[in-house]
Structure 1
């Protein structure tokens, strides 16, 4: 009997531990979306090989979701320090515009050297933009939402100045490789995003950097007292976030072989913040989850695919996505689940008046 109670207690502890894991609910939501699409769309889960590379809806979700994964990855570290970066969309547009402008004006737009130079220029400018954000937040003391809002507005104008208000079209197979090409049958964008995620996880989880970032975001006063240089860490995470956004901008512009300073990366900062929140990272800073962020970005991209698959009218697309995101956040909220479970238990319990009224009736039946 004792062993049975021990096994039951162990099993109950494992269930509670699994239910409280931050990756459980995002994984279940993503699985539900994929299975729902599989029900309404024939062959949705089918992955095949065509023209020497993988194809299928799952491959498209991973390929088109790669830029969002990168932006959300940088946003995760910024949010972990109690900050926010609203300028990533403008950084995406600036990086794509700089790269396409350099390639289009080059005498050899198809050469690998030209593409690498264009990518280097875009990444260098993005690093400077991230440095400006980091200095404004860490050294000057400007609130993160205000500091990055400045670049969000001004950066979009800078992107349009670079493109002269026009869409710059490039014809370069080497540049198209970044966002729309394939390497060993796999989308190169997916491989690049996976490499960045793996490198970030290695640096933040195998070294003290991740712990220092969580310390600065979780308790700034205590981290300052123990001698942690928060200013340098804050600047570093904003530079890293800008670099991730720049790589995403290269992916987006290379996938369509053009740069649009007005629409490239538009509202991607909001999707990135939603991906971070869905992944389990709190906006109040502290502990962060890179795996949860990746799942959150895939959920957002799968949701966009679902909208087109189900034929949701374009005018109600954003409303539909908003309702689904709210439902996802409520489902993974421990406080909401506890309240819902408490109300269900209360509804099942008999009321005192019903119990008191039932006693005389039972006595009459016995008489």
Structure 2
């Protein structure tokens, strides 16, 4: 639990700042059976990022990295919207389910491609996923023909902007995926195997662990999470933009993983910490608008907050800071002592 102390402290500080500048920040209203409020907005915005960061966590746990998740987000949304736009009845639930299925299947294929390059061919993860990061944007543009595809489908809009039981459906979907992943990883030997592969892939192979299949699986899972996030993002705005959808979300996902306490070198990881990191990032976005920080310094403000948080989490920095505070002053010399003491 110690690893969550500083992230929680930063989250509380951001929320207190929001309340100071907006006294109704914590207020939640029930309108038409749906919950509305700033806290609900934070959860809604954090849902796609939490999913992408969830897959990124398992990839990083094996000692890899996936820079292509943003492109997969764009591709999944583009393919789903393309199929729905061609339906004679865009309100057809069956048609929307087919579109969702096509998008997720393609996401799995893209994840398998990344896993194949890394686990089978042996290409460095940052290079292998950089290929799809660049080519994937081109594929998304090819699917949309370089245009923004707009759809008018009630069932599809439910994914990102709908409500169920008073809560945003995207939050419930993200919570379900996170819960299932946690049970699968932490209630079985899978989590330990992933940490073993990330800690020392060669030693784990010699111990009989099929590291190649594990590495392939985490890249497939990361792409699946990115595909679901892409459906959420595109359905929320009822359109697909192959150029801007999911742009730089991979960097926010990596940042959420780091804030959550997972080491980029692989090994031990924390799914709960990653989700907390995603919530912090989106709370920070809301804080920027609540406080009224000028747009030209927004990125600088976010960078300062992130640097402070990362330094606070660093054991080496905290140890050096403690040593500096506890360092004794210089010993007194005879010249510094009172004359009466020198004479004695």
Q: TM-score, normalised by structure 1?
A: 0.91
The equivalent residue for 2:341 is: 363
The equivalent residue for 1:123 is: 104
- In structure 1, stretches of 5+ residues that fail to align are 1-17
Match of 2:51, SS state, is: helix
Match of 2:35, SS state, is: strand
Deviation at 1:358, TM superposition (A): 5.5
Deviation at 1:356, TM superposition (A): 5.0
The equivalent residue for 2:160 is: 179
1:26 aligns with 2:4: no
1:48 aligns with 2:26: no
Aligned-residue Cα RMSD (Å) equals: 1.5
Deviation at 1:351, TM superposition (A): 2.0
Q: 203, 228, 235: which is aligned to 1:222? A: 203
1:350 aligns with 2:329: yes
The equivalent residue for 2:215 is: 234
Are the equivalent residues in 2 in contact too, given 1:97–1:159 (CA < 8 A)? Answer: yes
Give the 5 Å matches for 1:146-295: 146-295=127-276
Match of 2:30, SS state, is: strand
- Partner Cα distance (2:147, 2:248) in 1: 20
- Stretch moving more, 92-101 or 322-331: 322-331
1:39 aligns with 2:17: no
- Partner Cα distance (1:95, 1:362) in 2: 85
Match of 1:342, SS state, is: helix
1:98 aligns with 2:79: yes
- Partner Cα distance (1:112, 1:134) in 2: 33
Q: 293, 303, 307: which is aligned to 1:326? A: 307
Change (3 A) 1:39 1:231: same
Are the equivalent residues in 2 in contact too, given 1:47–1:54 (CA < 8 A)? Answer: yes
Are the equivalent residues in 2 in contact too, given 1:23–1:291 (CA < 8 A)? Answer: no
Deviation at 1:360, TM superposition (A): 2.7
Are the equivalent residues in 2 in contact too, given 1:80–1:285 (CA < 8 A)? Answer: yes
Deviation at 1:325, TM superposition (A): 0.9
- Partner Cα distance (2:334, 2:236) in 1: 71
Match of 1:23, SS state, is: helix
- Partner Cα distance (1:45, 1:84) in 2: 36
The equivalent residue for 1:303 is: 284
- Partner Cα distance (2:134, 2:340) in 1: 75
Change (3 A) 1:190 1:358: same
- Partner Cα distance (1:258, 1:228) in 2: 44
Match of 1:72, SS state, is: helix
Match of 1:352, SS state, is: coil
- Partner Cα distance (2:211, 2:306) in 1: 33
- Partner Cα distance (2:10, 2:297) in 1: 21
- Partner Cα distance (2:196, 2:298) in 1: 39
Deviations 1:106-128 (A, max 9, x none): 11211211111111000000000
